[in-house]
Amino acid sequence: MTEIPDFDDLGLWACRSVRFSRQGSLLETAVAAVSRSDAGYTASELEFLLQVEVKHAMLQLVRRQRIVRSRVGKRFVYLCSETGRRRQQKLMRNERHALQDVAASLAPEVLPEELRAAIVLFFSLLDERQRRLFAGLEATKIGHGGDRKIADLLDLDPHTVAKGRRELFAGFVDRRRVRKAGGGNQRMEKKRQR
């Protein structure tokens, strides 16, 4: 059986355990991902996104001046080489870093069971797209294994969580539709006509 490639917003497609990129190589894929990102990427974020080790490739791109490596807090972030875009990315990354510090300072006051209940309650108030994006965001906070942990917590398919994470990092979210045209359950009348 031949599979038709279905590339995601980052130009990535996986067939069984093999991953493909429209950019052709890991170096070009990394440059494209970093350039399109709102806040650049750390090496671990890129590895999570691309599902491959990227440290040596990123250092090679920095040496070639295709991307820029900058320290934000205690971590290095890879940013676009174009000055104006890089400035925007660094501002966004600094803002995220500040929000993480605030969240970390509040976390000890919240008991794990209460937090879990609050997440599930909040999740139930969201529409389908918002649920996917929220699950992807929470999985990213956990890091490795986050897709499975959040999928188990929220009773989702891990692929749905991964899709939400990819959509967030790609920076492309269609605000008009929750589902593609024709998506979702069919009405009973249509099912009976078949």
pLDDT in tens, 142-182: 777 788 888 888 888 989 999 888 888 776 666 665 555 56
Q: Residues with Cβ < 8 Å from 167, sequence gap 6 or more?
A: 9, 132, 133, 136, 173
Q: What is the DSSP-derived secondary structure letter of residue 19?
A: E
Q: Residues with Cβ < 8 Å from 22, sequence gap 6 or more?
A: 7, 11, 12
pLDDT in tens, 110-137: 446 777 777 778 888 888 888 888 888 8
Cβ atoms within 10 Å, residue 153: 16
Cα–Cα dist 20/3, whole Å: 13
Residue with the bigger pLDDT between 23 and 102: it is 23
pLDDT in tens, 60-73: 999 999 999 998 87
Residue with the bigger pLDDT between 138 and 113: it is 138
pLDDT of residue 108: 41
Residue with the bigger pLDDT between 6 and 53: it is 53
pLDDT of residue 63: 93
pLDDT of residue 102: 52
pTM metric for this prediction = 0.51
Question: What CATH number does the domain located at 1-109 have?
Answer: 1.10.10
pLDDT of residue 175: 64
